[in-house]
Amino acid sequence: MAVGNVSVPGSVAALGEFGLVTAITGRLQTGEGVLLGPGDDAAVVAAADARVVATTDVLVEDRHFRRTWVSAADVGHRAAAQNMADVAAMGARTTALLVGVVLPGDLPVQWALDLASGLSEEAELCGASVVGGDVTSGDKIVIAVTALGDLCGRAPVTRAGAAPGDVVAVCGRLGWSEAGRAVLSRGFRSPRVLVAAYQRPQPPYDAGPEGASLGATAMIDVSDGLLQDLGHVATASGVHIDIDTAVLEVGQPLLDLGAALGLNPVEFVLTGGEDHALVACFPPSVELRERWRVIGRVAAAAGEGAVTVDGAAWDGPRGWDHFA
Protein backbone atom coordinates (compact mmCIF):
# COMPACT_ATOMS: atom_id res chain seq x y z
CA MET A 1 0.00 0.00 0.00
CA ALA A 2 1.40 3.38 -0.99
CA VAL A 3 0.91 6.16 1.54
CA GLY A 4 2.46 9.51 2.37
CA ASN A 5 2.94 11.67 -0.71
CA VAL A 6 3.70 8.78 -3.05
CA SER A 7 1.60 8.75 -6.21
CA VAL A 8 -1.03 5.99 -6.26
CA PRO A 9 -2.33 4.76 -9.64
CA GLY A 10 -5.78 3.37 -10.40
CA SER A 11 -9.33 4.20 -9.34
CA VAL A 12 -10.87 4.44 -5.88
CA ALA A 13 -13.05 1.41 -6.69
CA ALA A 14 -9.98 -0.66 -7.52
CA LEU A 15 -8.27 0.36 -4.30
CA GLY A 16 -11.40 -0.29 -2.21
CA GLU A 17 -12.91 1.61 0.70
CA PHE A 18 -10.49 0.53 3.40
CA GLY A 19 -7.44 0.81 1.20
CA LEU A 20 -8.55 4.32 0.25
CA VAL A 21 -9.06 5.30 3.90
CA THR A 22 -5.59 4.03 4.76
CA ALA A 23 -4.07 5.97 1.88
CA ILE A 24 -5.95 9.15 2.81
CA THR A 25 -5.03 9.04 6.48
CA GLY A 26 -1.42 8.68 5.43
CA ARG A 27 -1.68 12.21 4.02
CA LEU A 28 -2.98 13.76 7.25
CA GLN A 29 -0.97 15.48 9.97
CA THR A 30 -2.25 15.72 13.55
CA GLY A 31 -1.47 18.57 15.91
CA GLU A 32 -0.93 18.63 19.64
CA GLY A 33 -4.62 19.28 20.35
CA VAL A 34 -5.57 15.88 18.93
CA LEU A 35 -5.66 13.28 21.69
CA LEU A 36 -6.77 10.48 19.37
CA GLY A 37 -6.59 10.89 15.61
CA PRO A 38 -8.02 9.02 12.60
CA GLY A 39 -8.33 5.24 12.76
CA ASP A 40 -10.85 4.54 15.52
CA ASP A 41 -14.64 4.87 15.68
CA ALA A 42 -14.22 8.55 16.58
CA ALA A 43 -11.46 11.03 17.27
CA VAL A 44 -10.78 12.78 20.57
CA VAL A 45 -9.88 16.46 20.50
CA ALA A 46 -8.87 18.60 23.48
CA ALA A 47 -11.37 21.31 24.43
CA ALA A 48 -9.66 23.34 27.12
CA ASP A 49 -12.25 26.13 26.94
CA ALA A 50 -15.09 23.70 27.80
CA ARG A 51 -17.04 25.18 24.87
CA VAL A 52 -16.73 24.03 21.26
CA VAL A 53 -17.54 26.14 18.22
CA ALA A 54 -19.01 23.92 15.49
CA THR A 55 -19.91 24.61 11.87
CA THR A 56 -20.41 22.63 8.67
CA ASP A 57 -20.50 23.20 4.91
CA VAL A 58 -21.07 21.02 1.86
CA LEU A 59 -19.44 21.29 -1.58
CA VAL A 60 -21.06 19.60 -4.57
CA GLU A 61 -19.22 19.02 -7.83
CA ASP A 62 -20.45 21.26 -10.68
CA ARG A 63 -22.31 23.38 -8.15
CA HIS A 64 -19.45 24.66 -6.01
CA PHE A 65 -16.47 23.62 -8.13
CA ARG A 66 -15.55 22.16 -11.50
CA ARG A 67 -12.66 19.79 -11.92
CA THR A 68 -11.72 21.63 -15.12
CA TRP A 69 -11.25 24.84 -13.10
CA VAL A 70 -9.58 23.60 -9.91
CA SER A 71 -7.26 20.81 -8.90
CA ALA A 72 -8.12 18.27 -6.21
CA ALA A 73 -5.74 20.03 -3.81
CA ASP A 74 -7.49 23.33 -4.58
CA VAL A 75 -10.84 21.78 -3.69
CA GLY A 76 -9.37 20.61 -0.40
CA HIS A 77 -8.08 24.08 0.40
CA ARG A 78 -11.44 25.64 -0.52
CA ALA A 79 -13.44 23.14 1.53
CA ALA A 80 -11.32 23.69 4.63
CA ALA A 81 -11.16 27.46 4.17
CA GLN A 82 -14.89 28.07 4.02
CA ASN A 83 -15.38 26.24 7.31
CA MET A 84 -12.41 27.69 9.15
CA ALA A 85 -13.46 31.20 8.11
CA ASP A 86 -16.82 30.58 9.79
CA VAL A 87 -15.02 29.58 12.98
CA ALA A 88 -12.85 32.70 12.77
CA ALA A 89 -15.97 34.85 12.33
CA MET A 90 -17.08 33.71 15.79
CA GLY A 91 -13.81 34.99 17.21
CA ALA A 92 -12.46 31.45 17.59
CA ARG A 93 -9.55 29.35 16.34
CA THR A 94 -10.14 26.12 14.40
CA THR A 95 -8.84 23.01 16.16
CA ALA A 96 -10.13 20.11 14.07
CA LEU A 97 -11.93 19.15 10.87
CA LEU A 98 -14.13 16.15 10.15
CA VAL A 99 -14.60 15.35 6.47
CA GLY A 100 -17.18 13.19 4.73
CA VAL A 101 -16.71 12.55 1.00
CA VAL A 102 -18.81 10.97 -1.72
CA LEU A 103 -16.65 9.73 -4.61
CA PRO A 104 -17.47 8.06 -7.94
CA GLY A 105 -15.89 4.64 -8.23
CA ASP A 106 -13.97 5.55 -11.37
CA LEU A 107 -12.33 8.59 -9.76
CA PRO A 108 -8.52 8.32 -9.81
CA VAL A 109 -7.10 7.49 -6.40
CA GLN A 110 -4.59 10.30 -6.83
CA TRP A 111 -7.44 12.85 -6.99
CA ALA A 112 -8.74 11.68 -3.62
CA LEU A 113 -5.29 11.78 -2.07
CA ASP A 114 -4.58 15.28 -3.41
CA LEU A 115 -7.92 16.38 -1.96
CA ALA A 116 -6.80 15.08 1.43
CA SER A 117 -3.48 16.89 1.12
CA GLY A 118 -5.22 20.17 0.35
CA LEU A 119 -7.53 19.80 3.34
CA SER A 120 -4.63 18.99 5.65
CA GLU A 121 -2.41 21.82 4.36
CA GLU A 122 -5.15 24.43 4.81
CA ALA A 123 -5.97 23.12 8.28
CA GLU A 124 -2.34 23.50 9.29
CA LEU A 125 -2.55 27.25 8.60
CA CYS A 126 -4.72 27.44 11.73
CA GLY A 127 -2.83 24.82 13.66
CA ALA A 128 -5.79 22.49 13.11
CA SER A 129 -5.94 18.85 12.06
CA VAL A 130 -8.21 16.64 9.97
CA VAL A 131 -9.16 14.07 12.61
CA GLY A 132 -11.58 11.78 10.80
CA GLY A 133 -14.62 11.46 8.58
CA ASP A 134 -16.28 9.05 6.18
CA VAL A 135 -15.99 7.82 2.60
CA THR A 136 -18.81 6.50 0.44
CA SER A 137 -19.58 6.08 -3.26
CA GLY A 138 -21.89 8.12 -5.45
CA ASP A 139 -22.36 9.52 -8.92
CA LYS A 140 -20.83 12.93 -8.15
CA ILE A 141 -18.17 14.25 -5.79
CA VAL A 142 -19.63 15.70 -2.58
CA ILE A 143 -17.49 16.98 0.29
CA ALA A 144 -18.96 17.74 3.70
CA VAL A 145 -16.67 19.38 6.24
CA THR A 146 -17.39 20.00 9.92
CA ALA A 147 -15.01 22.35 11.74
CA LEU A 148 -14.52 22.56 15.49
CA GLY A 149 -13.08 25.63 17.17
CA ASP A 150 -11.78 27.02 20.45
CA LEU A 151 -12.93 30.39 21.82
CA CYS A 152 -9.87 30.55 24.12
CA GLY A 153 -11.91 32.04 26.95
CA ARG A 154 -13.58 34.79 24.89
CA ALA A 155 -17.31 35.26 24.37
CA PRO A 156 -18.43 34.30 20.84
CA VAL A 157 -18.96 37.19 18.43
CA THR A 158 -22.35 36.72 16.78
CA ARG A 159 -24.23 38.52 14.03
CA ALA A 160 -26.65 40.05 16.51
CA GLY A 161 -24.58 42.58 18.47
CA ALA A 162 -24.13 45.53 16.08
CA ALA A 163 -25.33 48.84 17.53
CA PRO A 164 -26.08 52.30 16.11
CA GLY A 165 -22.87 54.32 15.99
CA ASP A 166 -20.63 51.33 15.28
CA VAL A 167 -18.24 51.40 12.35
CA VAL A 168 -18.13 48.57 9.82
CA ALA A 169 -14.66 47.30 8.96
CA VAL A 170 -13.32 44.55 6.73
CA CYS A 171 -10.12 42.49 6.87
CA GLY A 172 -9.15 40.58 3.75
CA ARG A 173 -9.82 40.79 0.03
CA LEU A 174 -13.25 41.31 -1.50
CA GLY A 175 -14.33 40.45 -5.02
CA TRP A 176 -11.17 38.69 -6.17
CA SER A 177 -12.62 35.17 -6.10
CA GLU A 178 -15.75 36.22 -7.97
CA ALA A 179 -13.60 37.99 -10.55
CA GLY A 180 -11.60 34.78 -10.95
CA ARG A 181 -14.81 32.82 -11.44
CA ALA A 182 -15.88 35.33 -14.10
CA VAL A 183 -12.57 34.78 -15.91
CA LEU A 184 -12.86 30.99 -15.79
CA SER A 185 -16.50 31.01 -16.87
CA ARG A 186 -15.43 32.79 -20.06
CA GLY A 187 -12.87 30.12 -20.85
CA PHE A 188 -9.77 32.11 -19.86
CA ARG A 189 -7.01 31.44 -17.33
CA SER A 190 -5.71 34.96 -16.83
CA PRO A 191 -5.27 37.30 -15.06
CA ARG A 192 -3.63 34.50 -13.12
CA VAL A 193 -3.81 36.37 -9.80
CA LEU A 194 -7.62 36.43 -9.99
CA VAL A 195 -7.90 32.78 -11.06
CA ALA A 196 -5.63 31.83 -8.14
CA ALA A 197 -7.85 33.81 -5.76
CA TYR A 198 -10.82 31.73 -6.88
CA GLN A 199 -8.93 28.44 -6.70
CA ARG A 200 -7.48 29.01 -3.22
CA PRO A 201 -8.99 31.78 -1.09
CA GLN A 202 -6.85 33.38 1.61
CA PRO A 203 -9.05 34.07 4.63
CA PRO A 204 -7.44 36.15 7.39
CA TYR A 205 -8.06 33.48 10.03
CA ASP A 206 -6.22 35.25 12.83
CA ALA A 207 -8.31 38.38 12.31
CA GLY A 208 -11.29 36.63 13.90
CA PRO A 209 -9.80 36.23 17.38
CA GLU A 210 -8.14 39.63 16.92
CA GLY A 211 -11.47 41.27 16.12
CA ALA A 212 -13.02 39.65 19.17
CA SER A 213 -10.18 40.92 21.38
CA LEU A 214 -10.56 44.43 19.94
CA GLY A 215 -14.23 44.48 20.94
CA ALA A 216 -16.14 43.53 17.78
CA THR A 217 -19.88 43.68 18.42
CA ALA A 218 -20.79 41.55 15.40
CA MET A 219 -18.80 39.64 12.80
CA ILE A 220 -19.34 37.45 9.73
CA ASP A 221 -17.21 35.99 6.96
CA VAL A 222 -17.94 37.11 3.41
CA SER A 223 -18.84 33.84 1.72
CA ASP A 224 -21.90 34.91 -0.27
CA GLY A 225 -21.13 38.57 -0.97
CA LEU A 226 -20.57 41.68 1.17
CA LEU A 227 -24.12 42.99 0.79
CA GLN A 228 -25.68 39.57 1.26
CA ASP A 229 -23.69 38.76 4.38
CA LEU A 230 -23.98 42.22 5.97
CA GLY A 231 -27.70 41.81 5.40
CA HIS A 232 -27.60 38.91 7.86
CA VAL A 233 -25.89 41.16 10.42
CA ALA A 234 -28.38 43.98 9.86
CA THR A 235 -31.33 41.62 10.25
CA ALA A 236 -29.96 39.83 13.31
CA SER A 237 -28.96 43.10 14.99
CA GLY A 238 -32.01 45.09 13.90
CA VAL A 239 -29.89 47.93 12.50
CA HIS A 240 -29.28 49.87 9.30
CA ILE A 241 -25.84 49.48 7.69
CA ASP A 242 -24.60 51.85 5.00
CA ILE A 243 -21.56 51.06 2.85
CA ASP A 244 -19.37 53.87 1.48
CA THR A 245 -18.04 52.80 -1.93
CA ALA A 246 -15.52 55.65 -1.94
CA VAL A 247 -13.44 53.82 0.67
CA LEU A 248 -13.76 50.30 -0.73
CA GLU A 249 -10.46 48.79 -1.86
CA VAL A 250 -10.75 47.90 -5.55
CA GLY A 251 -7.49 46.28 -6.62
CA GLN A 252 -5.90 46.99 -9.99
CA PRO A 253 -6.65 43.46 -11.29
CA LEU A 254 -10.35 44.13 -10.63
CA LEU A 255 -10.16 47.49 -12.38
CA ASP A 256 -8.44 45.91 -15.39
CA LEU A 257 -10.93 43.05 -15.59
CA GLY A 258 -13.88 45.40 -15.26
CA ALA A 259 -12.56 47.48 -18.15
CA ALA A 260 -11.98 44.38 -20.27
CA LEU A 261 -15.45 42.94 -19.64
CA GLY A 262 -17.38 46.21 -19.55
CA LEU A 263 -18.36 45.66 -15.91
CA ASN A 264 -18.28 47.89 -12.85
CA PRO A 265 -15.47 46.43 -10.71
CA VAL A 266 -17.13 47.75 -7.54
CA GLU A 267 -19.86 45.16 -8.11
CA PHE A 268 -17.28 42.39 -7.65
CA VAL A 269 -16.43 43.90 -4.25
CA LEU A 270 -20.05 44.39 -3.16
CA THR A 271 -21.51 41.09 -4.32
CA GLY A 272 -18.65 38.62 -4.86
CA GLY A 273 -18.27 35.82 -2.35
CA GLU A 274 -15.80 33.06 -1.46
CA ASP A 275 -12.85 35.30 -0.60
CA HIS A 276 -13.88 34.73 3.01
CA ALA A 277 -12.78 38.14 4.21
CA LEU A 278 -14.04 39.00 7.70
CA VAL A 279 -16.35 41.98 8.14
CA ALA A 280 -17.12 43.22 11.64
CA CYS A 281 -18.80 46.03 13.53
CA PHE A 282 -16.85 47.91 16.20
CA PRO A 283 -17.68 50.71 18.64
CA PRO A 284 -16.31 53.99 17.24
CA SER A 285 -13.92 54.32 20.20
CA VAL A 286 -11.99 51.18 19.22
CA GLU A 287 -8.57 51.85 17.72
CA LEU A 288 -8.42 49.46 14.79
CA ARG A 289 -5.22 48.08 13.36
CA GLU A 290 -4.28 49.07 9.84
CA ARG A 291 -5.46 45.86 8.19
CA TRP A 292 -9.03 46.56 9.32
CA ARG A 293 -10.45 49.03 6.76
CA VAL A 294 -13.54 51.03 7.76
CA ILE A 295 -16.08 50.77 4.93
CA GLY A 296 -19.34 51.84 6.51
CA ARG A 297 -21.46 52.84 9.47
CA VAL A 298 -24.24 51.39 11.58
CA ALA A 299 -27.38 53.40 12.33
CA ALA A 300 -30.73 52.77 13.95
CA ALA A 301 -33.17 50.99 11.65
CA ALA A 302 -36.47 52.67 10.77
CA GLY A 303 -38.04 49.23 10.30
CA GLU A 304 -36.40 45.89 9.61
CA GLY A 305 -32.61 45.76 9.42
CA ALA A 306 -31.29 46.77 6.00
CA VAL A 307 -28.09 47.49 4.07
CA THR A 308 -27.70 50.48 1.73
CA VAL A 309 -24.90 51.62 -0.55
CA ASP A 310 -23.88 55.30 -0.45
CA GLY A 311 -27.13 56.07 1.32
CA ALA A 312 -29.39 54.45 -1.29
CA ALA A 313 -31.00 51.06 -1.80
CA TRP A 314 -29.03 48.62 -3.97
CA ASP A 315 -31.19 47.41 -6.86
CA GLY A 316 -28.85 44.78 -8.30
CA PRO A 317 -27.89 41.27 -7.17
CA ARG A 318 -26.68 41.19 -3.58
CA GLY A 319 -24.63 38.00 -3.73
CA TRP A 320 -24.96 34.23 -3.88
CA ASP A 321 -28.19 32.39 -3.07
CA HIS A 322 -28.24 28.64 -3.75
CA PHE A 323 -31.96 28.64 -4.53
CA ALA A 324 -32.24 31.94 -6.39
State residue 150's pLDDT score. Answer: 97
Query: What residues does each domain of the chain span?
Result: 13-150, 167-309
pLDDT at 6: 59
40-46, long-range: CB within 8 Å, 24+ apart, which pairs?
42/132, 43/96, 43/98, 43/131, 43/132, 45/95, 45/96, 45/131, 45/148, 46/95
Amino acid occupying residue 151: L
* Residue 60, pLDDT score: 97
Ranges under pLDDT 50 in the chain: 1-4
d(CA 201, CA 209): 19
* Residues 167-309, CATH architecture: Alpha-Beta Complex (3.90)
The CATH fold of domain 13-150: 60s Ribosomal Protein L30; Chain: A; (3.30.1330)
pTM: 0.91
CB 91 within 8 A of CB 60: no
Contact 282, 274 (CB under 8 A): no
The pLDDT tens digits for 96-152 are 999 999 999 999 999 999 999 999 999 999 999 999 999 999 999 999 999 999 999
What whole-number distance in Å separates Cα of residue 201 and Cα of residue 250?
A: 17
From the list 174, 211, 206, 205, the residue with the least C-alpha distance to 289 is 211
Q: Beta strands 218-221 and 129-137: pairing type?
A: unpaired
* Per-residue model confidence (pLDDT) at position 24: 81
Which residues are within 8 A (CB) of 192 and not within 5 positions of it... i.e. 6 or more apart? Answer: none
